[in-house]
Amino acid sequence: MDQFTTTELLQAQSHAWSLVFSYFKSMSLKAAIDLGIAEILHKHGKPMSFAQLITFLSIPDSKSDHFRRLMRALVHQGIFSTDQETQSSYSLTPTSQLMLPGNSTSITQWLRVILDPTLSHSAHVLPSWLKSSEETTKTPFAVLHGREIFELADEKPEFTKLYNEGMASDAGLVMNVVMRSCRDVFEGVESLVDVGGGNGTTVMALKKAFPEMKCTVFDLPHVIQGKTDIDGVRFVTGDFFQSVPPASAALLKAILHGWSDEDCVKILKHCKAAIPNKDNGGKIIIIDMVIGVVMDNEVSAVETQLFSDLLMLVAAKGKERNESEWRDIIFAAGFTNYKITPLVGLRSVIEVYP
Ligand SMILES: C[S@@+](CC[C@H](N)C(=O)[O-])C[C@H]1O[C@@H](n2cnc3c(N)ncnc32)[C@H](O)[C@@H]1O
Ligand SMILES: O=c1cc(-c2ccc(O)cc2)oc2c(O)c(O)ccc12
């Protein structure tokens, strides 16, 4: 048996405790969102003292010390900042800026859906699911809930609403980055179908940058229902395993990571049939993670990509892919070339050519 020194074992204990307590990272973040701390600091417009903060948040005096401990942990994680000397006035950081509700870069709803027990409890099923030979067609999510995530609309309408809003709140920030760093990807595209385009947030960001572009938002009936076409934007219901509406380009944002290689090839083939051929300039634009492709080789970004892969393991039939895995499905669907452009953060834009 390996022998470790007492020092090594104590260091290992500290590492293990840190992993065990990691859920307090997400739970303290959720507490900050539920309390609306970022909103209060934002409205105040300048650093806020602890006394002001507890008054605005209506924290009773009897809980002020408890609240200070929550703030200390949040500051330590970089969610809020405090002045070095007195440690008693608080400000927003870029991370808490993303928690402000009601603007296009807010990820509040996205955080809520990822932390919702309907989604997060599926992780408890993973060990038994891995050992079971019967459960190969169902995800851990479906073992827990009896249905896959996109089949829950009738049974859990509130979760489905939260899910659709959460996905939309991710679209705002990502499209902001795309428009600033690789706008040329969409330059000259006359018409575009956003395949699995959710509530249309991505398309609305595109229309803002390219008002002439004719856009179609294509998604399942329960997502599209109640949406009315507006000038240059059509909402179309359907199933991307059957067919995809025609356009000069097809966008797949956060779609393929949710499906197996075999399913991705089917979806990509339907997209290929929907766009012009090689000689007529059609293309597919994928926005998803490419594992290991992160700007400045940021180690924590790769770790986040691996955790996102675990989310796909428990909640979907898909996976986050490295470049070689992307290449395999792209060529298997009959495309001849592709180009990867990493975005700031976790994702890349992959242009795919017939
Ligand atoms: C992870 S969400 C991504 C939404 C959007 N593209 C975004 O990035 O915000 C996946 C989307 O695919 C849609 N979807 C799932 N299965 C589908 C199918 N068979 N046909 C069309 N859309 C589907 C879901 O309803 C959902 O809106
Ligand atoms: O549960 C999910 C979550 C996502 C997801 C995660 C992060 C993002 O930036 C966007 C989307 O995507 C999913 C998906 O594509 C799927 O087929 C099932 C579940 C989820």
DSSP 54-66: HHHTT--GGGHHH
Atom 11 in ligand 1: which residue has the minimum CA distance? 196
Q: What is the pLDDT of residues 76-103, one digit of tens each?
A: 999 999 987 776 799 999 999 999 987 7
Tens of pLDDT, residue by residue over 100-136, are 987 777 888 899 999 999 999 999 999 999 999 876 7
pLDDT at 231: 87
Indicate which residue of 42, 121, 257, 270 is catalytic. 257
Residue 68 neighbours by CB under 8 Å, 6+ apart: 50
255 lines ligand 1 (CB under 6 A): yes
Is residue 257 part of the annotated active site? The answer reads: yes
Tell which one of 106, 147, 150 to mutate to probe ligand 1, the residue whose CB is within 8 A of the most ligand atoms: 150
172 lines ligand 2 (CB under 6 A): no
Give me the amino acid identity at 338: Y
HEC secondary structure over 175-188: HHHHHHHCHHHCCC
Distance CA 256, CA 34 (A): 32
Query: Looking at the whole model, is its pTM more than 0.95?
Result: no
Mean pLDDT by 10 residues, the chain (354 residues): 87 93 94 96 94 96 96 96 82 93 83 94 95 84 95 92 89 88 94 96 93 97 91 96 98 97 98 95 96 79 93 96 98 97 93 97
Question: Is 171 near ligand 1, meaning CB less than 6 Å away?
Answer: yes
The finding on whether 200 has its CB within 6 A of some atom of ligand 1 is no
pLDDT for position 176: 87
Q: What angle do CA 289, 309, 272 make, to 5 degrees?
A: 50
